[in-house]
Amino acid sequence: MTDPLPAERPPVPLPANALDGQAVGTRPAGHPNARSGRIGVLLMNLGTPEATDYWSMRRYLKEFLSDRRVIETSRLIWWPILNLIILTKRPGPKGRDYASIWNTEQNEGPLKTITRNQAESLARDFAHLGDRVVVDWSMRYGLPRTADRIQALLDQGCDRILAVPLYPQYAAATVATACDQVFAALARMRWQPSIRIAPPWHDDPVYIEAIEASMRESLAKLDFEPEVVLVSFHGVPKEYLDKGDPYYCQCVKTFRLLRDRFGWPAERFRLSFQSRFGNAEWLRPYTDETVTALAKSGVKRMAIVAPGFTADCLETLEELDGENRHYFEGNGGERFAYLPCLNDSPRGMDVIRNVVERELKGWV
């Protein structure tokens, strides 16, 4: 006689006293309290210092520049440079840069303000599900820390968590290091939640349409027509591309999709990479050199946009709208405009919500 199919097998009987004093579905008396059944969404961004003073900046820079995903140089070479030179000289000037864009009302960097707003807006979008979905946010460097926010989600009963690195294009120095923090937190847990990581969305139609619409809206508000629109992405060392990082290819695809939508000639719609650091070769062309060359070539009106950032921050507000504006105007340019990121605008939230809803399928 063959065994019955699994569905036909009778349930294993419980010990006679297993449910004594307990309602069906509850835990036995004395069982540790552990909430479960909810879903967490964790938005993760890069980070920001807690203040603009020397020591706050030093702590932030040390955490950031000690990350082996960010700086892959041999520690024998890098540690003396970092500790004896960079962490001695850069905190002061960088603190002044941050002070120029600081949200004084909330006493924090704009990246923190915007990321919090994005999380709160996303939570409102899921309010129709009651308390089933919990939205939180964290920073890779600085506060709030990813491990702390994962624990906070667990404490609220989230046994499934979707982690969303807020970078449209994948790079090991951004997405991978954010995920490293998630996995490091899980490695210390006895009961790990189920984890999903949202993939990059560099060519998602919702993202491309939102960037195009935002750019057109910003351009329509200008009192001049740019001769050139420069699309600037954060740079990484060229060596990372040579090692197989897909970041450059994803940036170029985003740029190409936007260029096709605008239909402008190549000389009017250009690509560049910003924020290079150190003496190694980074992805080219460099934004600062491109801006300077455009001004020297006779271009009088230009605009710049940074679609690789989901929130305005030091690299957009100070570096692009400040530093590169000076390069342009100081070399003969006359009219310069920075077109803002999507941030927590309705279009920006359309993109984030689209990614989250897509990746929650099967859970919600």
Sequence-separated (6 or more) residues with CB below 8 Å from residue 113: 103, 106
Q: What's 106's DSSP letter?
A: T
- How many Å apart are CA 325 and CA 279, to the nearest integer? 23
Tokens 């709208």 appear where?
A: 321
3-state helix, strand, coil in the chain (%, to 5): 45, 15, 40
Residue 212 among known ligand-binding residues: no
Pairing of strands 228-234, 269-274: parallel
Is residue 315 annotated as involved in ligand binding? yes
Alpha helices in the chain (DSSP H): 54-65, 75-80, 87-89, 91-99, 110-125, 146-155, 177-187, 205-220, 238-242, 247-262, 287-296, 325-330, 346-359
Hey, which residues does 38 pair with through a beta bridge?
A: 158
For the chain, what is the largest distance between any 2 Cα atoms, rounded to a whole number of angstroms? 92
Binding residues: 234, 315
Binding residues for Fe(2+): 234, 315
